A and B are shown apart, each in its own frame.
Chain A
């Protein structure tokens, strides 16, 4: 179960997408998310799918791997689809008892599912092609203008780095605790949903305690290495925009124009 989590995984590479500055990638992903919600007809989604397919092909990430990232939230996607399919009012096309499907429902369900899938695929592509450090660095730099209004940009970035750093450690820890508890007779994978939820308690409590202890030790270790916040810090790697970034922006602007154009030509679904 824990092995399916692709969040925060990174595949090193040297593709066009890998070489983009993390700030460019973050801005592109923001524009991408806006577009996912801006699109009003299926032609728009075809355009977006083409763009995404191009990005995946260029990045060298296996599409299979990208799609596997959808698995953990499959239930959520299916649930959203069914919910919208049956509960949207409008022109009826099928009815059985209190269940009814409307033309609008079909369209709306398809839209919601498409939106979710596009969101996950796009953001997965970002994390798969950007090292966590680069990502948090990019965030820090993008947020730094907001320091003037006392936004703790450095602290946010540092928290994200540490969180990402500890994902594998805490997964290992969870695995150990689960084994230790099953060795003592706890049944974790059986029973109905309630007994399973109950079985999580003896796993979560030790996990939390150990996480707090680790946090304390890490804080001491950071102090020993002269950590004192973002003030006066230098970096091993400084971010720099290059020619690839300009190309990235141009592609994105072209796509945005195309999407708006398609919306205007084909109108609302």
Chain B
């Protein structure tokens, strides 16, 4: 099977306890997550992106529609732990994901819950800490680590379950720029080298740029979908959805408005610089030619 998660016409509503009012957070989302891909989900606050993430490991179940993970329906209570074992979750706040007072004990928490034998726990903990580059800190107390390090430990904690899919709900929102870079590098490496399927929920464009595929949510619906090169050049649409575009893309967009006719798919500084250089060279040639 190619798709690890299949979401079919997912609707999620919640009822306000006081007013009895029903609020629709997700409104007919259909989405497949392919094995091995790096999928970024973007959207401004309240677009339903966190809610979508929580459907991927049965923390929330659909009001209508279906979500299946590795062929298991999340609405089936009996399959709850089989589903959660397959989906590692990392949340925004690194402080509220740690249970234990020592890094390695915290990473061991999930396999302990799953009843994994002791030697196997040891192996998984060492391996998970190695992957995120935190082996040197295994006897440390979590509160002595930096934000980026804590998030890497949280990723290791999810990896120790040996999941098929890693869902990250704004894992960098509370970190400083160096912590953000640390976490994103780790995730990217995990996807590339270990073949881990990653769903990254974020509102940072520069993180989404590095994904294989981008989905943009707006008021509980998928507004745009495609590769970063397909999505980000649509500057007007993105701005209308209340999102920023990567700065390089925006620069080229503004230059194109002046009629420069540049390739609009440049997503990062290097690509942007290369495109500008190419345009300048062409111009130089054109000027000499006339």
Contacts and interface: CB of A to CB of B under 8 A. Distances in A.
Do A and B interact with each other, yes or no? yes
Interface of A: 12, 131-133, 161-162, 164-165, 168-169, 172, 214, 217-218, 220-228, 232-238
15 contacts: A12-B139, A131-B101, A133-B100, A164-B101, A165-B100, A165-B101, A165-B142, A172-B143, A225-B109, A225-B113, A226-B84, A226-B85, A228-B81, A234-B117, A235-B121
The secondary structure that dominates the A interface is: helix
A220 B115 CA distance: 20
A236 B91 contact: no
A106 to B, nearest CB: 44
Contacts of A227: 109, 113
Contacts of A132: 101
A217 B105 CA distance: 19
Contacts of B161: 225-226
B241 to A, nearest CB: 28
Interface of B: 57, 59, 81, 84-85, 87-89, 91, 93, 95-102, 104-105, 108-118, 121-122, 125, 139, 141-143, 157-158, 161
Contacts, number: 95
B110 A225 contact: yes
Nearest to A215: B96
B99 A165 contact: yes
B102 A131 contact: yes
Contacts of A133: 100-102, 105
B96 A161 contact: no
B100 A224 contact: no
B96 A214 contact: yes
Nearest to A219: B96
Contact of A161 (B89, B99, B110, B111): B99
Given A164-B101, A236-B104, A236-B105, A220 B59 contact: yes
B105 A220 contact: no
B129 to A, nearest CB: 12
A232 B102 contact: no
A193 B223 CA distance: 59
Nearest to B97: A221
A225 B158 contact: yes
Contact of B59 (A223, A233, A238): A223
Given A168-B143, A214-B96, A228-B81, A235 B112 contact: yes
Nearest to A225: B110
Given A226-B85, A233-B115, A161 B143 contact: no
Given A132-B101, A133-B105, A232 B115 contact: yes
B112 A222 contact: no
A233 B81 CA distance: 14
Contact of B118 (A162, A225, A234): A234
A132 B142 CA distance: 13
What are the 7 A-B residue pairs with the smallest beta carbon separation, nearest first? A217-B96, A225-B110, A224-B89, A236-B108, A221-B97, A168-B143, A226-B113
A214 B174 CA distance: 14
Contact of A233 (B113, B142, B158): B113
A12 B102 CA distance: 12
Contacts of B117: 234
A218 B115 contact: no
Contacts of B115: 232-234
A132 B118 CA distance: 20
Contact of B157 (A131, A225, A232, A234): A225
Given A224-B89, A236-B105, 16 more contacts: A12-B139, A161-B100, A161-B101, A164-B101, A165-B98, A169-B95, A169-B143, A214-B93, A214-B95, A214-B96, A217-B91, A218-B99, A225-B157, A228-B81, A233-B112, A235-B118
Q: Which of A132, A214, A222, A234 has the most CB of B within 10 A?
A: A234
B116 A162 contact: no
Given A217-B91, A220-B59, A236-B118, A228 B113 contact: yes
